[in-house]
């Protein structure tokens, strides 16, 4: 029997419960992964609360859109993967059916890739969603090039920290945004070229002063909300690009009126495409090898503490980096 986190109704962290059930067998083209560690993502919280854009299958819905572990069973027709392979899960489009908050999950083989040797399960669990999103939005969508000034909101969040490292890996110049002056030193230590703290500075003014008055080439925004129009003023006129990836502020977001290119990025645009997954993995694994990329883990919880992990995510006490859950089998 295997433990799995399920919920029968949407609501607060108390709806999550751990049950024991069969691990399930992989069908044709599928693999079963013995999960070692999984990340707790904002999308999971939205799904649990019932406000995710994707359909939620109740009752007995599962949760968790990324994780890492060891393949322990392989269905017919699977090539290039075998029992004992350490893997990263690259996309869980229907997490309420095969979510990763569990000892095991069964997925199409196309949804996993081999985990780089030497990457421990906890760091591996903190890698894929944050780094593939930051890479996809900045490199593939906004066309980030060496020397570009890149303004990154919610920079102490998981996508933001990944974006700082990826910008540095490419030779761009990351400028971090936080709401708290107290976080400036940590963000500079995390690789930001400069930090704008919105409790004491205006974003667009600060961005112009950090770019000799030109404005930034790219804005990566995880926040949206009413601040979006002002944020967009930080971009270079005409040639600037705004790419939004998140909605940490759920209030309505006014569309920017200055003449810049805008994109809305969803990671499934790339993570369900095997060719894009190969490109993303090649870039991220090269960065891990050189040390340019190093996933930041904020706090680790046991699978049985999942309610507490969600309460922590919602508390706003998150310091820097990812909240990770581990099963008993994690290293």
Ligand X SMILES: NC(=O)c1ccc[n+]([C@@H]2O[C@H](COP(=O)([O-])OP(=O)(O)OC[C@H]3O[C@@H](n4cnc5c(N)ncnc54)[C@H](OP(=O)(O)O)[C@@H]3O)[C@@H](O)[C@H]2O)c1
Residue ranges that bind ligand X, judged by CB under 6 A:
41-43, 129-130, 133, 154, 156-160, 178-180, 183, 222-223, 245-249, 265-267, 318
Shortest distance, position 160 Cβ to ligand X, whole Å? 6
| Closest distance to ligand X from the beta carbon of 122 (Å) | 16
Q: Compute the least distance from the CB of residue 238 to ligand X, in Å.
A: 26
Q: How many CA atoms lie within 13 A of 179 on its CB side?
A: 9
Q: Which is nearer to ligand X, 129 or 166 (CB)?
A: 129
- Rank residues 31 and 169 by Cβ distance to ligand X and give the closer one: 169
- Which H, E and C letters describe 208-259, residue by residue? HHHCCCCCECEEEECCCHHHHHHHHCCECCCCCEEEECCCCCCCCCCCCCCC
Query: Is the Cβ of residue 225 or residue 307 nearer to ligand X in the bound state?
Result: 225
* CB 21 to ligand X: min, Å: 29
Residue 318 beta carbon to ligand X: minimum distance, rounded to whole angstroms: 5
**Closer of 67 and 160 to ligand X (Cβ):** 160
Nearer to ligand X by Cβ, of 230 and 249: the residue is 249
In sequence order, the 6+-apart residues with CB closer than 8 A to the CB of 122 are 37, 297, 300, 324, 326, 330, 331
Q: Is 189 in a helix, a strand, or coil?
A: helix
CB neighbour burial string for 129-148, b if at least 16 within 10 angstroms, e if fewer = bbbbbbbbbbbbbbebeeeb
Contact 158, 126 (CB under 8 A): yes
């Amino acid at each position: 029997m295997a433990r799995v986190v399920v919920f029968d109704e949407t609501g607060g962290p108390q709806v999550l419960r751990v049950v024991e059930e069969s691990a399930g067998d992989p069908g044709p083209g599928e693999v079963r992964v013995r999960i070692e560690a999984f990340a707790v993502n904002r999308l999971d919280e939205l799904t649990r609360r019932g406000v995710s854009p994707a359909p939620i299958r109740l009752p007995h819905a599962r949760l968790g859109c990324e994780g890492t572990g060891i393949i322990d069973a392989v269905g017919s027709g699977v090539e290039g993967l075998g029992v004992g392979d350490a893997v990263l899960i690259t996309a869980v489009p229907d997490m309420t059916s095969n979510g990763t908050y569990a000892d095991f999950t069964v997925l199409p083989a196309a949804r996993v890739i081999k985990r780089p040797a030497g990457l421990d399960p906890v760091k591996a669990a903190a890698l894929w969603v944050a780094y593939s999103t930051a890479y996809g939005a900045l490199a593939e969508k906004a066309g980030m090039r060496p020397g570009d000034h890149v303004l990154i909101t919610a920079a102490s969040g998981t996508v933001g920290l990944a974006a700082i490292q990826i910008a540095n890996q490419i030779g761009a110049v990351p400028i971090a945004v936080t709401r708290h002056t107290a976080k400036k030193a940590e963000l500079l230590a995390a690789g930001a070229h400069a930090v704008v703290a919105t409790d004491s500075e205006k974003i667009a003014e600060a961005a112009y002063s950090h770019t000799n008055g030109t404005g930034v080439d790219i804005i990566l925004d995880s926040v949206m909300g009413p601040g979006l129009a002002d944020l967009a003023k930080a971009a270079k006129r005409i040639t600037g690009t705004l790419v939004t990836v998140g909605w940490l502020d759920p209030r309505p977001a006014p569309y920017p009126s200055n003449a810049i290119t805008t994109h809305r990025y969803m990671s499934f645009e790339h993570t369900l495409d095997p060719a894009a997954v190969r490109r993303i993995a090649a870039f991220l694994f090269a960065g891990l090898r050189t040390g340019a990329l190093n996933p930041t883990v904020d706090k680790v919880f046991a699978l049985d503490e999942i309610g507490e992990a969600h309460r922590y995510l919602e508390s706003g006490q998150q310091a820097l980096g990812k909240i990770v859950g581990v099963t008993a089998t994690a290293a």
